[in-house]
Amino acid sequence: MSQRAIDLVRQFPQKRVFLIGDALLDTYLEGEASRLCREGPVPLLWKTREQHAPGGAANVAANLKALNAHVSFLSVIGNDYAGSLLCGELKDMGIDTQWLLEDDTPLTPHKMRILAEGQYVIRLDDGARQGVTMRPTNEALRTRLHQHIEELYANSDVVVISDYHYGVVSQPVIEQLTVLANRNPKPILIDSQALQRFQHLPATVVTPNHPEAKRLVELGGETPAEDWEELAQQLHKVLHVDYIAITLAEHGVYLRQRDAASGLHVPTRPVENAQDVGAGDSFAAAFSLALAAGGNIEESAQIGLDNAGIAVTKPRTAFVSQQELLQRASLRTFTAVLQTQEDELERLRATLEIERLRGKTIVFTNGVFDILHAGHIHFLRQARQLGDVLVVAINSDRSARGLKGPGRPIHSEQDRLALVAALDPVNYTLLFDEDTSSAIISTLRPDIYVKGGDYSDEAIPEAAAIQEAGCRLVILPLVGSASTSNVIERIVATQEG
């Protein structure tokens, strides 16, 4: 990933998403199991917690909102308790529920997971049935649904179809979206558990998982290939889409463009004890937003994987904030810079960005540090106490001569660099050849810049760079009469005597 990934994630708050799909309610009932029930050989649970969360396409909406996008979520819920709970959860997240159409029948799809001591005991499903129900059942509501599709499609930057096959994304809805996509093309992502129904919709990308991809090929009458590349080719024969993105759980995603010579495998970093409930929703949310922000398919998929990678570290149905994703993208970017960048200053900048992402305060100072003495040590200890990471820039031999005059420095730049780097308060060192450290301050953008001696703000040569970088200036007075010049004078006097 590059700096571009960070820029894409930063654009998410400006993107308008039209999301259509099946709104589900996820419920988690937790309990303590102390013994078996007398009525049968099953655990007797004492309920300790009940938690509700948006599920299905509603979880995609929650993920999009957490990433700070503008979400218009069009779906159908039942006039029931589960529907009211779901609306309440979405409102608490700041998601506008005006596009949720309330149908008297059937009930809101509801997945109840019962856990004992953190372990799943059973999942009980209620409400509309997958693959059976047509929603909405009311003709007037169907008319409103199609009107809303027309309006929301026109006002969106990207369209996400999250089809859990509970009836909202019906064949008439697919046909309407197909007409709109042909008339006004824009990024469209389809995440469906019944992809065979989308054969003619000209989408940007579909995101089946590996079993779903194989099942679709089987429905087309072919034997699904085990090889990812061949499987993607088979899917392109069935679907009218630009890209196939086969999600592969811990193996990442396999991408293939229509008519391309070959596809591309984008791996993901492994996660221990991954919780995969809703991971596909987190992937789809970030993937679609990156496409809307202008990302190409590879970098968008990588951002989607980053988002899913964070989500699976969280328990149960979870979503990821834009700040969390931005940190992950930044960490990946600056780690990559460390691996490839040859320029020392750029490598240090990347290292410090990682330190900053970890919440560390960066302190910077510079000097000649020709003959180290107690004043230097005291100064650097004080500087380090102002923050968490101390960076010291050492004047090169050339710039030291310009500052101190002929005969200086006494020690070579490499010796001075090594001595300062060996001091306990110092975390990072580098050489610089300029007369001032302004360029380094502009590049590293430390939180605090420390100067030793008697200065006013205006007298400091780096004043303009300090102001532009937004760092805080701290002036530390020199201790006693210790200075390199005094040390040199005493050495000379001793030799002459």
Q: Which residues are catalytic?
A: 281
**Closest CA relative to residue 354, chosen from 281, 428, 423, 298:** 428
Contact 27, 51 (CB under 8 A): yes
DSSP per residue, 209-236: BHHHHHHHHHHTTSPPPSSHHHHHHHHH
- Residue 62: strand, helix, or coil: helix
Say if strands 110-116 and 23-36 run parallel, antiparallel, or are unpaired. Answer: parallel
Q: State how far the Cα of 303 lies from the Cα of 310, in Å rounded to an integer.
A: 11
Backbone phi, psi, residue 316, to 5°: 65, -155
Residue with tokens 């380094």: 440
Say if strands 70-78 and 16-21 run parallel, antiparallel, or are unpaired. Answer: parallel
Q: Which two tokens stand for residue 137?
A: 């059942």
Contact 399, 428 (CB under 8 A): no
Task: Write out the E strands in 156-217.
Answer: 158-163, 188-192, 203-206
Residue with tokens 């065979």: 196
- Residue 265: strand, helix, or coil: strand
Q: In what order do the strands lie in the sheet with 448-452?
A: 428-432, 389-395, 362-367, 448-452, 472-476
Strand partners, 18: 72, 159
Cβ partners under 8 Å of residue 200, min gap 6: 178, 240
Cis peptide before 106 (omega within 30 of 0): yes
Kindly state the helix (H) or strand (E) to which residue 195 belongs, with its residue range.
none
Contact 464, 487 (CB under 8 A): no
| Range 372-404 burial, b when 16+ CB lie within 10 A, else e | bbebbebbbebbbebbebbbbbbbbbebbeeeb
